[in-house]
């Protein structure tokens, strides 16, 4: 049987192929990688493929799932932890199995969040643009010591805890907000406070919660107004956590030392693609990237060799479990009670 993987990046491909060669090929199944994303226009490519491996930015709504099911697909193995792009009730109704990667290196995302935070604080992007033009002035590039300041961590799971450990190493005070308190974060000296208090007191705010109906626009206009004028906001989780239009309005008012975004709420159809020669009609994004204190990366926080190798290994294991009729904690659909 041939297994079809969509949206495979150039430097991801050898890691994915190696994982499948080790775990799946001995069972008589081979992997074929495509660099195109999985959506309504490309779902037909999966015809007669029982197993499809999807990327984090795949569009797996009811329409696409119906097309895949009609073509014979029975397993969707997603190469990510997040699954807000998948219509799980539709998949269940169609009799499809959906699996994800429950966890991978938390350091990949936490370290990228810190890269964005430090780049914003020390104006690295602006400095790099200047020096490329042999402009070595430092006026306008003054940063701040983060030592002794306050980091607010919204979501203190594995990634949030990894971020907090680095903040602790910088000598920062730690505030946290989550449904449950993480003992590891408490040992670092973190104080858990209501979200509004965290936003008001923190010099650096980082988001590490999943996107759910309850967290959609968690950082809305009111939340942004609660933050310090010179705060740094970093989001490496999901774009929908931040009301981008409200963020642009605050930036236009001259607020915030910096904003580092690896995700964007309307990134579908943009991120992971080369749009450099296209007309991009997203006015909000176009305005956002013009601010000198805003740094946007294209959903690459997870993208380290270590994390991608773990993702590939778990994805291959999910396929092996499906072929063997086993269910693991990575299976999202069908639900155990179904």
Q: Where are the domains of the chain?
A: 2-104+304-333, 106-296
Task: Give the pLDDT confidence of 245-260 residue by residue, as tens digits.
Answer: 999 999 999 999 999 9
Contact 157, 187 (CB under 8 A): no
Q: What is the CATH number of domain 106-296?
A: 3.40.50.720
pLDDT band at 335 (very low <50, low <70, confident <90, very high): confident
> What does the pLDDT average to over 147-169?
98
Averaged pLDDT score across all residues of the chain: 96
Separation between Cα atoms, residue 214 and residue 281, nearest integer Å: 29
What pairs with residue 51 in β-bridges?
A: 75
Structure tokens at 251: 């930036």
Structure tokens at 102: 């429950």
Confidence check: pLDDT of 9 > 60: yes
**Tokens 């002794």 sit at which residue?**
148
What percent of the chain stands above pLDDT 90? 93
Give start and end residues of each alpha helix (H) in the chain. 13-23, 62-70, 88-93, 106-121, 124-132, 158-169, 183-187, 195-201, 221-226, 244-252, 283-288, 305-324
Laid out side by side, the sheet with 258-261 consists of 191-192, 173-177, 150-154, 204-207, 232-235, 258-261, 294-296
Burial degree of 142 (CB within 10 A; 0-12, 13-18, 19+): exposed
Separation between Cα atoms, residue 70 and residue 99, nearest integer Å: 19
> What does the pLDDT average to over 44-51?
98
> What does the pLDDT average to over 202-210?
97
List b or e across 96-118, with b for residues whose CB sees 16 or more CB atoms inside 10 angstroms: bbbbbbeebbbbbbbbbbbbbbb
* Degrees, nearest 5: CA angle 236-240-246: 100
Confidence check: pLDDT of 337 > 70: no
Contact 146, 168 (CB under 8 A): no
Task: Give the pLDDT confidence of 67-117 residue by residue, as tens digits.
Answer: 999 999 999 999 999 898 999 999 999 999 999 999 999 999 999 999 999
pTM for this entry: 0.93
Confidence check: pLDDT of 338 > 50: no
What is the CATH architecture assignment of 2-104+304-333?
Answer: 3-Layer(aba) Sandwich (3.40)
> What does the pLDDT average to over 26-33?
97
Confidence check: pLDDT of 146 > 80: yes
Kindly write down the DSSP assignment for every residue of 66-85, as one continuous string: HHHHHTT--EEEESSS--TT
What percent of the chain stands above pLDDT 70? 99
Same CATH fold, 106-296 and 2-104+304-333? yes
**What residues act catalytically?**
238, 267, 299
Separation between Cα atoms, residue 182 and residue 156, nearest integer Å: 6
Confidence check: pLDDT of 269 > 90: no
Q: Which residues contact 324 (CB under 8 A, 6 or more apart)?
A: none
């Amino acid at each position: 049987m041939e297994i079809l993987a969509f949206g495979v990046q150039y430097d991801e491909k050898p890691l994915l192929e190696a994982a499948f060669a080790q775990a799946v090929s001995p069972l008589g199944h081979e992997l074929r990688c495509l660099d195109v994303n999985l959506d309504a226009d490309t779902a037909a490519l999966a015809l007669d493929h029982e197993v499809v491996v999807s990327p984090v930015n795949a569009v797996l709504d009811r329409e696409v799932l119906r097309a895949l099911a009609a073509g014979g697909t029975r397993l969707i193995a997603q190469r990510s932890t997040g699954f807000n792009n998948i219509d799980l009730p539709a998949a269940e109704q169609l009799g499809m199995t959906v699996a994800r990667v429950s966890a991978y290196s938390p350091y990949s995302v936490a370290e990228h969040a810190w890269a964005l935070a430090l780049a914003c604080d020390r104006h690295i992007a602006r400095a790099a643009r200047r020096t490329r033009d042999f402009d070595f002035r430092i006026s306008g590039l003054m940063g701040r010591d983060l030592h002794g300041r306050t980091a607010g961590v919204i979501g203190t799971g594995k990634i949030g805890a990894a971020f907090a450990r680095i903040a602790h190493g910088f000598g920062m005070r730690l505030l946290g907000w989550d449904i449950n308190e993480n003992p590891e974060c408490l040992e670092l000296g973190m104080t858990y406070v209501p979200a509004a208090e965290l936003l008001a007191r923190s010099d650096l705010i980082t988001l590490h919660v999943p996107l759910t109906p309850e967290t959609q626009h968690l950082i809305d206009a009111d939340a942004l107004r609660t933050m310090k004028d010179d705060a740094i906001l970093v989001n490496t989780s999901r774009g929908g956590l931040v009301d981008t239009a409200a963020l642009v309005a605050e930036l236009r008012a001259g607020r915030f030392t910096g904003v580092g975004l690896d995700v964007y709420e309307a990134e579908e159809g943009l991120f992971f693609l080369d749009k450099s020669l296209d007309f991009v009609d997203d006015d909000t994004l176009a305005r956002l990237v013009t601010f000198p204190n805003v740094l946007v990366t294209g959903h690459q926080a997870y993208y380290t060799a270590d994390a991608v190798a773990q993702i590939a290994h778990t994805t291959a294991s999910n396929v092996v479990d499906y072929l063997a009729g086993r269910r693991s904690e990575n299976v999202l659909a069908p639900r155990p009670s179904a």
